[in-house]
Chain A
Amino acid sequence: MDEHELEERFQELLDKYKGEPGALIPLLQGAQAIFGYLPQEVMARVAEAAGEPLSQALGVATFYSQFRLKPHARHTIRCCHGTACHVSGATLISQEIEKHLGIKAGENTPDMFFTVEEVHCVGACGMAPVVMIDDRAYGKLTPDKAVAAVKAFREQKEVQEAGGNSGAALVAASERGDR
């Protein structure tokens, strides 16, 4: 979607809720659905449309974990810190992944390949400790295994993305069992 089209959809959203009391959260959700995250200029316009000060809009956006103020990288690593994962060493796994990528939870790699997040329970306690990369789950991890999984994922995707338009690469990838 080009910039113009995004702006058009955003304006439509603002117009829809303008003057409606209590519209802050639907506005934030709508804006994030359009832009993928909530940039500062978007926040300012959402606040204005909601008739709230920017400080209030930002308070709500930083309170709920569903809202993102920073753009997301192409792929998300979610380190589970639910109770089961926590007691089986999630902290060490998070640390090792963060060290490997050189970023902290909530940040993106400079090449916008990975975002690392800490989440609370992904519902796979039997496999604790668990890390999810996009929608793929990796269980029974050790710090080393976790880093290996991250590396393997990247290699695989890089091959895919490099040949983004090449049918042969896609076919090759699918033959290896990628989705």
Chain B
Amino acid sequence: MSAAGEAAATPQSVTLTLNGMEVKAKPGQTILEVARSVGVDIPTLCHDPRLEPYGACRMCLVEVEGARGPMAACGTQVREGMVVHTHTEKIVKLRRFVLELLLTNHPLDCPVCEAAGDCRLQDYAYEYLVDMVPWGWRPPVVGEPGDHPNIAHYGARCILCGRCVRICREVMSIGCWGYLNRGYESEVDTPYRLPLTEVGCVSCGQCVSTCPVGAITTQRSLLGARAWQTSKVVSTCGYCADGCRLVLHSYRDKVVKVSADVEKGLNEGNLCVKGRFGLGYVHAEDRLTRPLLRNSQGELVPTTWEDALTTLGERVKTLTSTAGGSAVAALCGTHVTNEAGYLVQKLLRTVLGSSNVTAEDEGEWSAYEALWAHGLGVVSDGVRRGDVRTAQALLLVGADITESDPVLALEVIRAIRTGRPVIVIDPMKTTVASKAPLHLAVRAGQEAAALRAMLRHVVEAGLKDEGFLAAETADPEAFLASLADLDVAGEAAQAGVDLEAVKRAATMFAQAASALVILGPGVLQGSRAKEVAGAALDLALVTGNAGRPGTGVYFLRSGANSRGLFDMGVRPGRLPQGSLKDEGVLEAAETGWGACLRDLPEGFGLADLIPAIERGTLKALYVVGADPVLAMPDYERTLAALKRLELLVVQDAFLTDTAELAHVVLPAAVTAEDEGTFTNAEGLVQRLRAAVPAPGEAKQDWAIVCRLAQVLGADWVYSQPEDVLREISEVAPAYRGLSYRELETEGQEVAAERSGSKLRFFPLGRMSAAGAADFPETDDDHPLLLVTGPVFIHHGTGERSRRAPGLSKLLAEPSLEINRADASAWGLVQGDRVRVTARDGAALEVAVTLSGRLPAGMVFLGRFSSQVPVARLLKGDVAAAAVRLEKV
């Protein structure tokens, strides 16, 4: 570094003078970035760090000594020795001129403008003392805001900075907004001024988040709260597993708005429709505010906490004294916090003596657990957002990522826009597939065949990373030999995709400097899960894409704390300390908790829950924030089983379909009322903070579990969730050292094994191909394959999203998506109602939507509805069924 020549070739930093201060900056930084980093505020209107510099507003003009004229700080990179002045008299005069021009035709309806108090134009007009416009004020009339439920558009207030236009194109890759006309007539609107819902809008509100004035805002806030009247707390989104950082704005005990800080958190200020407009359920009218007990007439009636808990305690004691602790099981929803999840499993294990504790998404983890020992843990555990961002190629398998993880999806969209190879393996033409350079539209359930074809082609075409295989994997010869008789053409044919396309995909993946696989929950169910995940692992290994930045396997997870609950031991076979198979783990847990765990009967998981009730071995179920009636396949069977339980306890914010069957219902707080932590899909632990108090007598999950444990005789002394995390950080190795203080300003990653020199990987090699074995076969009577999956406006089975007006007004009930060709064959048009009948005669009625994304022979129905529960048609582990349609 001392050689001057070397430093000049690759300068590590440049030095400039900013308002007389000497400042060091990174090469490539703009004047604006450098100024903001040292606390010098250069005003901007058209700038958003999420967007490319644009230079339209001229507010950021600064003087650069030696330059021909004022320079736009947002688009000018710093140079060695640059001398910059940001607030000279000349510059201030220019800025005032810009503001005068803008105000000439800007309505001054600030008293009724949604943006008042959060408006750059208002701020700068005051700061720069623009109290008159020299040419006369000619404001246009402020019209109506349009009828989108969340997004209001007041074109008259637009200053033409283009941020909405650019964020919708550059970040979202949609393009709802555009300029119309020219010069003084210029305006921003949708094409032909169509309603947003008709121009491909996904209602993410990114335009709202970037508009510097009141031209695109949220619809009038609840209670008419002003920016300066609301309290703001930073929290974490409770819907999907992306872990977006939120700012919750509250006023008089109501959450009135959600925003996100630009450049903070994994989402860097971006949010999806659920994050930004999906919190209305917090104040839904049907929130549970008192405990409910089923009386002798079979009705659920409100009662006191004391009564509910005493009754519950007695019944549990009676039941376990005869049937034993293992007659009790607990089931958590995926948005239960680490703290509450930890306490639930501790309650079951140390107080009741049961290992029957699991979470709703257990099935999606089977492959991960099964292949952990092969090195999948190493390949996937340390994969972070930054790896998705920097990977030079992405392969998405069964991941409808814009629907399931809309904010993580922005990284994939960015990859496509910057010309990186993105390959999609999916029967559906998903949004990403329609934009990606390569889509392998496999037959339903045949993702693994496509992966095997790619794998074999990599070997055949000499694209494998021999150095990596030799150094990092055990017995590469045996691995490669096991692939020797795989037939690329045969596998491609089985997958139903073009051979050349498969070869191209394999080449793109193998030749990229770094490549990453994203696996969706849809392919991680049933018997093919291991096959798909195993082939993905082998593909990553054979191309050397493991254990370094921009590589690996990213598992999408279905809920905000899916990962955390796994880590907390909310599984029959796991403890917070690790896998139960590990003797050391058991010992550590016994010492830590002062309890004997080795004599606990082996727990059963999600798949055995219903059979265990039917066998009579499971008599009581404690459901925390889950709705198994809608979430489990085989609706009628689930209903019948739950009704057989001697004791069903449901702890939730709403009277869910499951809660309606319960003997005891405990009213719970929602995430916006709770303190605790979530661990997102990639292992980032982040804080939740309460923005508002829980309504009525509703309590936080962790507090309810504590009360219950005390009633059952435990001497637990947690006075706040922080105490629980302290204990977690002591017992769970990956969470060691975490504390609320550590998490105060930003999330912390859980420890993950990513380096080391010993052999780490054990490729599976050729597996017996289960393929679509447990996929239902279609036939003449039931010729269509019904599948389900994520729908971006809702989450999971919709208990929360259905109750959020900002979401339900966009999509209240699901419709059956059907390919156009199938629709015309069945004589159906958009909006027709059909009866969908499965092979066992189970049926439901639903409206039809014609869709361009489904292949012929496949229909899709979202699972977020309680009115038309798709679970009624599904059997077994795979979310698919053979169905027929009748017009009604």
Contact = CB atoms under 8 A, between A and B. Distances in A.
Interface of A: 40, 43, 52-59, 62-64
Interface stretch (B12-20, B175-183, B351-359): B175-183
12 contacts: A43-B191, A52-B175, A53-B169, A53-B174, A53-B175, A54-B178, A55-B175, A55-B177, A55-B199, A56-B175, A59-B179, A63-B181
Interface of B: 165, 169, 174-182, 190-192, 199
Contact of B180 (A43, A52, A62): A62
Report the 6 A-B pairs with minimum CB-CB distance, sorted nearest first: A53-B175, A55-B178, A59-B179, A59-B178, A54-B191, A58-B191
Most buried by A among B165, B175, B190, B191: B191
A59 B191 CA distance: 8
Contacts of A64: 182
Contact of B175 (A40, A43, A54, A63): A54
Contact of A40 (B177, B179, B181, B192): B192
A54 B199 contact: yes
Given A55-B199, A59-B178, A64-B182, 6 more contacts: A53-B178, A54-B175, A55-B176, A55-B190, A59-B179, A62-B179
A58 B178 contact: yes
A52 B180 CA distance: 15
B303 to A, nearest CB: 57
Contacts of A43: 191
Contacts of A56: 169, 175, 178
B178 A63 contact: no
A164 B453 CA distance: 69
B182 A58 contact: no
Nearest to B185: A62
B52 to A, nearest CB: 15
A107 B176 CA distance: 27
A43 B178 CA distance: 14
A50 to B, nearest CB: 12
A1 to B, nearest CB: 26
A52 B165 CA distance: 13
B165 A55 contact: yes
Nearest to B180: A62
A21 to B, nearest CB: 12
A40 B169 CA distance: 21
Nearest to A69: B192
A55 B189 CA distance: 8
Contacts of A52: 175
Nearest to B186: A63
A57 B182 CA distance: 14
Contacts of A62: 179-182
A58 B175 contact: no
Contacts of B178: 53-56, 58-59
Given A55-B165, A56-B169, A63 B182 contact: yes
Contacts of B182: 62-64
Nearest to B181: A62
Contacts of A54: 175, 178, 191, 199
A58 B192 contact: yes
Nearest to B182: A63
Contacts of B177: 55
Contacts of B174: 53
B192 to A, nearest CB: 6
Nearest to B174: A53
A130 B175 CA distance: 42
Given A52-B175, A54-B175, A54-B191, A59 B180 contact: yes
Given A53-B169, A55-B165, A56-B169, A63 B179 contact: yes
Contacts of B180: 58-59, 62
Contacts of A53: 169, 174-176, 178
A164 to B, nearest CB: 35
Nearest to B190: A55
B399 to A, nearest CB: 24
A54 B201 CA distance: 13
A62 B188 CA distance: 12
Contacts of A58: 178, 180, 191-192
A122 to B, nearest CB: 20
A137 to B, nearest CB: 26
Contacts of B190: 55
A49 B219 CA distance: 35
A40 B194 CA distance: 12
A62 B190 CA distance: 13
A166 B147 CA distance: 56
A43 B194 CA distance: 14
Nearest to A63: B182
B596 to A, nearest CB: 64
A57 B191 CA distance: 9
A124 to B, nearest CB: 25
Contacts of B192: 40, 58
A168 B134 CA distance: 65
A54 B200 CA distance: 10
Nearest to B178: A55
Contacts of B176: 53, 55
A73 to B, nearest CB: 21
A55 B191 CA distance: 5
Nearest to A52: B175
A54 B192 CA distance: 10
A8 B175 CA distance: 29
A62 B165 CA distance: 16
A57 B199 CA distance: 13
Contacts of B175: 52-56
Nearest to A54: B191
Contacts of A57: 191
A128 to B, nearest CB: 23
A57 B190 CA distance: 12
A55 B200 CA distance: 11
Nearest to A53: B175
Most buried by B among A53, A55, A63: A55
A57 B165 CA distance: 13
A74 B177 CA distance: 34
B578 to A, nearest CB: 50
A85 B182 CA distance: 22
Nearest to A61: B180
A126 B178 CA distance: 41
B425 to A, nearest CB: 24
A58 B175 CA distance: 11
A49 to B, nearest CB: 15
A163 B225 CA distance: 70
Contacts of A40: 192
Contacts of A59: 178-180
A1 B143 CA distance: 43
B173 to A, nearest CB: 9
A54 B168 CA distance: 12
A58 B182 CA distance: 12
A22 to B, nearest CB: 16
A63 B187 CA distance: 11
Contacts of B199: 54-55
